[in-house]
Amino acid sequence: MTKQKAKFLALAVKAALDGGEKIMEVYSKEDFAVEIKEDKSPLTQADTDCNNAITETLDEIKLPILSEEGKAMHFQERSQWELFWIVDPLDGTKEFVKRNGEFTVNIALVHKVSPILGVIYVPVKDVLYFASSELGAYRLDEAKNKVSFAFSEHVESYESIVASIVADSAELPLESERSVFTIVGSRSHMNDETKEFIDKHRETHGTIDMVAVGSSLKICQVAEGSADIYPRFAPTMEWDTCAGHAIAKFSGARVVRADNGKELLYNKENLLNPWFLVDRQN
């Protein structure tokens, strides 16, 4: 891994944990305000604080940032970007408000239209998923202490920091003894199309397991091998999927359009994703 790419990954990991710390400061309060944005989605102080923390950490690398909670960028400007970040500071704000712990911090590095690096942090569980085109994909449990140790003990180079984090991590997919075909889906978007998709797989596989979780954890479940497929037949934005896309892709899974099987692309004029599938099928 080159020095530059090691720096990208190390700072993305640090930014995700910095953001997660801000989220937990709000989450630990007995009560917090919830605003409703123009698109009817919720916004909390945790979204804003996390976004600020991520931006501050990533500012060491002078690249554009496309963020759900950041300044809106016109496509004419964005279309000129060669390398840039896509960030969702708090993916699963509904789950955050419900206090079920199923929310994440998502950071991806994109080259033109494809993610080349992804980091997802689960603050409540202190679990970190990360991936790059050079390293593959990994899961790190008890992430705060291990990442802090890596940064304190290996200040001489970002390459050493990344090597230390990788050494403490498990490569994806994890070993699994599952024998039942498992579909993972959203807690909030179980529509008729998804039900039809599940019924077809039940006809093919007989018994199936259906697991419902929030946020980008659905993509992570396919990446780590605890689920076989994640169908998404409901709206998502690019920042919802980009980091997970990188983690799934570099774990050997794929993230493809449901209509034509082509890989999802990013930094489109319209930032809304098409319906898609995450799976390991050839």
**CATH number, domain with residue 18:** 3.30.540.10
On whether residue 176 sits in a domain, the answer given is no
* Collapsed DSSP state (helix, strand, coil) of residue 147: helix
Exposed e or buried b per residue across 70-109, where buried means at least 16 C-beta atoms within 10 angstroms of its C-beta: beebeeeeeeebeebbbbbbbbbbbbbeeeebbbbbbbbb
pLDDT of residue 186: 81
Structure tokens at 88: 């969702």
Residues 105 and 204 in one domain: no
Instruction: Starting at the earlier edge strand, list the strands of the sheet with 229-232.
Output: 208-213, 181-186, 229-232, 276-279, 254-257
On whether residue 245 sits in a domain, the answer given is yes
pLDDT of residue 21: 97
Low-confidence ranges of the chain (pLDDT < 50): none
Structure tokens at 135: 């390293």
**CATH number, domain with residue 264:** 3.40.190.80
Residues 126 and 215 in one domain: no
Whole-angstrom distance, CA of residue 263 vs CA of residue 272: 15
pLDDT of residue 188: 64
Q: Which domain holds residue 42?
A: 3-171
Residues 62 and 139 in one domain: yes
Structurally, how many domains does the chain consist of? 2
Of 171, 193, 210, which closes a domain?
171
Under 8 Å between Cβ of 5 and 134: yes
Residues 153 and 257 in one domain: no
Of 119, 143, 171, which closes a domain?
171
pLDDT of residue 177: 85
